[in-house]
Structure 1
Amino acid sequence: MYIPSKPFTCLDGSLTIPYEFVNDDYCDCKDGTDEPGTSACPNGRFFCENKGYVGSLIPSHFVGDGVCDCCDGSDEYETKTVCNNTCFELAQKTQAEREAQRVLHEAGVAKKKEIISKSIAIKSERQTHIDELERDLQSVENELKEKEELKRQAEIPENQAKEKHQKLWDEQRAVRETIIRNYQIRDMFADLDTNGDSLVSIDELQKHTELDLDNENEFTIEEVRTILGSDSVTLDEFNTTVFDQISNSYKRLPKPTTPIPEPTLDSIATPSSSVETSTDEKNMESHDETPIATSLEHEKHIHDDTPPEFDDETKQLIAIADQTRTEFDQVQGKVLDIKRQIEDLKKQVNIDVGVQGEYSAFIDQCFDYEEREYTYRVCMFKDAKQIPKGGGGDVAIGFWDAWTGPIENKYLRMKYVNGATCWNGPARSLTVTFRCGIEHKIIDVREPSRCEYAMIFETPSACDEKMAVTSSHSTHTEF
């Protein structure tokens, strides 16, 4: 661009000037390109050749300021400042650093190749195992269908026997409830019939002022008649129209009463118009004419709500059905276990562990980093936590999301997101940056922004094959 025999055109194309205007200590070009060797242009750039090392650009106003900015001292060519040429020393230092990096990457790549080799074998083994499990699953599912059919067949007679038992018990309870209700009706009627004429009259019921529900402190004849429906009622009429109206509020009058024996199937039956035993009551005295007398086991439960035990035949049917259910559950458990194994293996196979599987060693692996207050734990491809050393619960700082490295190698960084939300802040997240190392280990964890954590992780998986084979010596004049 700088040819002494030709006019010079500013590099932004804005102006063409005679070549003698270049480096004349006067800024002609807006981009400062006419004064690369002076400090005339504030936006100018001076190129340090730095022979034996690496060329560099510095602001042109650094030129001739008495400070040696170029390692070859070329920026102070017009001053009396003596600059030592440090380019050789810098080149040696850089060369040593590059050689150390080359050796590191060379050792790391050797381990990386071992990981890749194992990854190929493990992936093949996983796929073989998946194929075997899928064949086993087909066989066990067929067995499960057979067990399900056996269970269904065994449950049919079991359910029929249980339903028969329940029906008998429901009938017994219905009879018992009827007997108890009849006893309560007869007892209440007898208590109200104070003159023993087998009728409950207005004056007899009027004595029970607790039945006066209007709270006017007077139980009038009209109110009593409304309850009875007439001036007096028989036992049957009392059962039909009165009992349900007064049963919840009725109380015995405070007077001695003759104890009334507990009702039994032999002594209590449906109410009749007479206090004396009716023909129906006499009929109920015969056990073989009542539903509940069909089973002595049911009969003895007439006064409690505990269902009777199943008979031996029903117990045997239940035992058979229980056995088929147990066998079905066992086979079903096998099916679920095989499906879970297949799912886990497929998840592992589908994890993106690098182009060559170089990050496969991380599967199911967790790594810790200890610092003063916390232990940081990252489980690769799963989650990351902050564990307080002073006690308290773990804090999720992220769940595996994706590889987020640069375009040229996305596998140099991964992201964990949607961790626990900070107080009045965002959800926690973690970025893991990988760099070449001989071992898998975390070497630093920081929180550069609130609730956003950054981790540096060394691993052979991040070592570069190109850097491992690059010679530390260069034939180029510029290092």
Structure 2
Amino acid sequence: MMFPLCVYAAVILCSFTSISNGNVEQTVLRGVQTSLLSMYIPSKPFTCLDGSLTVPFEFVNDDYCDCQDGSDEPGTSACSNGQFFCENKGYLGTLIPSHFVGDGICDCCDGSDEYETTIVCNNTCFELTQKFQAGRDARRTLHEAGVAKKKEIIAKSKAITSERQEHFNELEQDLNNLENDLKETEKLKQEAEVLEYAAKEKNQKLWEEKRAIQQAMVRDQQIREIFVDLDTNEDSLVSIDELQKHTELDTNQANEFTVEEVRSILGSDSVNFNEFNTIVFEKISNSYQSSPEPTTPTPEPTPLPEPSIYSATTPSSILETHGYEEEEVTTTSSFYKDNEEENNNERDDYHESSSVSTSLEHEKHIHASLAPEYDNETKVLIQIADQARNEYNQLKEKIIQIKRQIQDFKKQSDVDLGPNSDYAPILDECFDYDEREYTYRICMFKTAKQISKGGSSEVTIGYWDSWSGPKDDKYLKMKYSNGATCWNGPPRSLTVTLQCGTEQKLSDVREPSRCEYTMTFETPLACDETIANRPLHPGHVEF
């Protein structure tokens, strides 16, 4: 069924309509977008828009599909892949699938898709225009208020940015000064440490020399004790039969401690003190055990031999060997003399098992002893070196901190903060969104986390990656990636959609796919000045 001519102006009349105006004739086709009218010229054959075929123009809108792309039937439902253009005059022109044409349902707000049916379509274009206008006015009002706050935020941000730049310049100057100071402090430290080291070395050497003297004296005492303990007949000699009693010295415990084995230790049938010192002592000192305390009364002791017998390792010779005067170790010498007097007066004490063990314990104590305190001069040098080290380390720590601040500033400077750095005010700022189980926290251009309200866990769902909006507005979305890996899944990631708002807040958080999160962030910084400057109630709307 054909409607009367000119029911709708321009593009939605008959298969084609001639409008005469003097000698001018213009043909307009139903269902063709205005931008494509130049491809449909009635006086010329029609070439399919995909270029696959050329047909006589009469084939256009003849209700038979000739073109593979359906472009020859823009006004009919003949082609399943064709598109019909609803002009929707006064509202937004739209494209609908051509098989919707004449299906008894009003798809175009002006009803032009049902031109051949008996269906009466109410023209709803005006109502849609009103709703569209109201929505656009509300959007414009929101952006107007948002832009006003955006300007305030950016003005404050610029002041902060200027302060940060000044601070950065100060940091670089401080770093330069501190590095110069560090070189001078390091030089002073090294000089103080040279003096400290020399003083410590001197003290260490003196202590080691004195300790060596003490050890030699203790060793001498130990040799005397063992010699006296072995010299049971008190003839100032240790003989084979005296040593043979100490079977613990037998290296081959399976057999008898033979005379030959004893002679191999002594080197002869008997040895005096000097020979015992030089030949025997080292062979038996580790295995020797003192004689048990006698069960019968001991005879009166005879006087010990003259000191000349033991002259090989007297304290005087030890002191001379190490370059010390005897009075330098008065205490040790006194100890030695007291013990010698005790040897002369109480001979039977050497037969007690405690005598040798006491000397052995004394020797262990000397080996295990710590160095004595440093003298006052050395202590002063140590204090000076410690102070120099502290000053050096403090300067070094300050330099590390300043370098870290400078590095952070440079990293922030490399971040793309949007056109004209509009998003600089929220750099490093954090925002939370609470739901029943978790708090979601995003720190702008850094990290995003999921925090359990039970306090049991904190999961990173992404690190700042890049802007990820569409090509025409990449600053519409933010991408955070490489978060904590899901169990048997991919690393977590987050997409943040920015929307104009009068406040800065997260308004929605979801997980549409496993380990892939989305957030909506409202901020005045996303408000568009172009939208804010549109007329609020225009006389007409250009679509």
Q: TM-score, normalised by structure 2?
A: 0.74
Separation of aligned partners in 2, 1:232 and 1:47:
132
1:393 counterpart residue number: 457
Q: Runs of 5+ in structure 2 lacking a partner? A: 1-38, 297-304, 336-361
Q: Please, which of 482, 485, 498 is the counterpart of residue 421 of structure 1?
A: 485
SS in 2 for 1:36: coil
1:34 is the counterpart of 2:68: no
RMSD over aligned CA atoms reads 3.8
Q: Deviations over 1:258-302 (max 9, x none)?
A: 9xxxxxxxxxxxxx9999542642636989975785377999999
Q: Deviations over 1:162-207 (max 9, x none)?
A: 2211111111222223333333444344444444455555555554
Q: Deviations over 1:295-317 (max 9, x none)?
A: 77999999651322222333333
* Offset, 1:76: 1.9
2:156 counterpart residue number: 118
Separation of aligned partners in 1, 2:235 and 2:256:
26
Which AA in structure 2 matches 1:65? D
SS in 1 for 2:421: coil
Q: How does 1:79-478 map to 2 (within 5 A)?
A: 79-200=117-238, 203-212=241-250, 216=254, 219=257, 235-236=273-274, 238-240=276-278, 242-252=280-290, 254-256=292-294, 276-278=309-311, 280-281=313-314, 283=316, 290=324, 294=328, 304=366, 305-471=369-535
Separation of aligned partners in 2, 1:172 and 1:311:
15
Higher relative contact order (CA 8 A, sep 6+): 1
1:44 counterpart residue number: 82
In the superposition, relative to structure 1, how do residues 226 and 103 fare at CA in structure 2: closer, same or farther (>3 Å)? Answer: farther
Separation of aligned partners in 2, 1:290 and 1:240:
24
In the superposition, relative to structure 1, how do residues 124 and 202 fare at CA in structure 2: closer, same or farther (>3 Å)? Answer: same
Q: Deviations over 1:431-463 (max 9, x none)?
A: 222221112111112223322222221111222
Separation of aligned partners in 2, 1:29 and 1:142:
82
Separation of aligned partners in 2, 1:464 and 1:196:
116
In the superposition, relative to structure 1, how do residues 212 and 280 fare at CA in structure 2: closer, same or farther (>3 Å)? Answer: closer
Which AA in structure 2 matches 1:52? G
Question: Is the contact between residue 213 and residue 319 of structure 2 (CA under 8 Å) also seen in structure 1?
Answer: no
In the superposition, relative to structure 1, how do residues 239 and 277 fare at CA in structure 2: closer, same or farther (>3 Å)? Answer: closer
* Offset, 1:389: 0.6
Question: Is the contact between residue 217 and residue 315 of structure 2 (CA under 8 Å) also seen in structure 1?
Answer: no
In the superposition, relative to structure 1, how do residues 382 and 186 fare at CA in structure 2: closer, same or farther (>3 Å)? Answer: farther
SS in 2 for 1:356: helix
In the superposition, relative to structure 1, how do residues 50 and 204 fare at CA in structure 2: closer, same or farther (>3 Å)? Answer: farther
Question: Is the contact between residue 110 and residue 122 of structure 2 (CA under 8 Å) also seen in structure 1?
Answer: yes
2:7 counterpart residue number: none
Q: TM-score, normalised by structure 1?
A: 0.82
Which AA in structure 2 matches 1:16? T
In the superposition, relative to structure 1, how do residues 165 and 413 fare at CA in structure 2: closer, same or farther (>3 Å)? Answer: same
SS in 2 for 1:278: helix
In the superposition, relative to structure 1, how do residues 400 and 349 fare at CA in structure 2: closer, same or farther (>3 Å)? Answer: same
* Offset, 1:217: 6.1
* Offset, 1:101: 1.5
Which AA in structure 1 matches 2:311? S
In the superposition, relative to structure 1, how do residues 385 and 209 fare at CA in structure 2: closer, same or farther (>3 Å)? Answer: farther
Using the TM superposition, name which of 84-93 and 417-426 deviates more.
417-426
1:266 counterpart residue number: none
1:66 counterpart residue number: 104
2:338 counterpart residue number: none
SS in 1 for 2:416: coil
Which AA in structure 2 matches 1:23? N
Q: Deviations over 1:33-73 (max 9, x none)?
A: 22223322222222222222112222222222222222222
Separation of aligned partners in 2, 1:342 and 1:83:
69
* Offset, 1:104: 1.6
Separation of aligned partners in 2, 1:399 and 1:27:
54
Which AA in structure 2 matches 1:281? T
Question: Is the contact between residue 51 and residue 478 of structure 1 (CA under 8 Å) also seen in structure 2?
Answer: no
Question: Is the contact between residue 199 and residue 235 of structure 1 (CA under 8 Å) also seen in structure 2?
Answer: yes
In the superposition, relative to structure 1, how do residues 115 and 282 fare at CA in structure 2: closer, same or farther (>3 Å)? Answer: closer
* Offset, 1:224: 5.1
Question: Is the contact between residue 62 and residue 69 of structure 1 (CA under 8 Å) also seen in structure 2?
Answer: yes
How many pairs align? 466
SS in 2 for 1:397: strand
* Offset, 1:119: 3.2
Using the TM superposition, name which of 115-124 and 69-78 deviates more.
115-124
2:92 counterpart residue number: 54
Q: Deviations over 1:142-170 (max 9, x none)?
A: 44444444444444433322221111111
Which AA in structure 2 matches 1:294? E
SS in 1 for 2:442: strand
Question: Is the contact between residue 51 and residue 477 of structure 1 (CA under 8 Å) also seen in structure 2?
Answer: no
In the superposition, relative to structure 1, how do residues 197 and 399 fare at CA in structure 2: closer, same or farther (>3 Å)? Answer: farther
2:51 counterpart residue number: 13
Question: Is the contact between residue 477 and residue 495 of structure 2 (CA under 8 Å) also seen in structure 1?
Answer: yes
* Offset, 1:221: 5.5
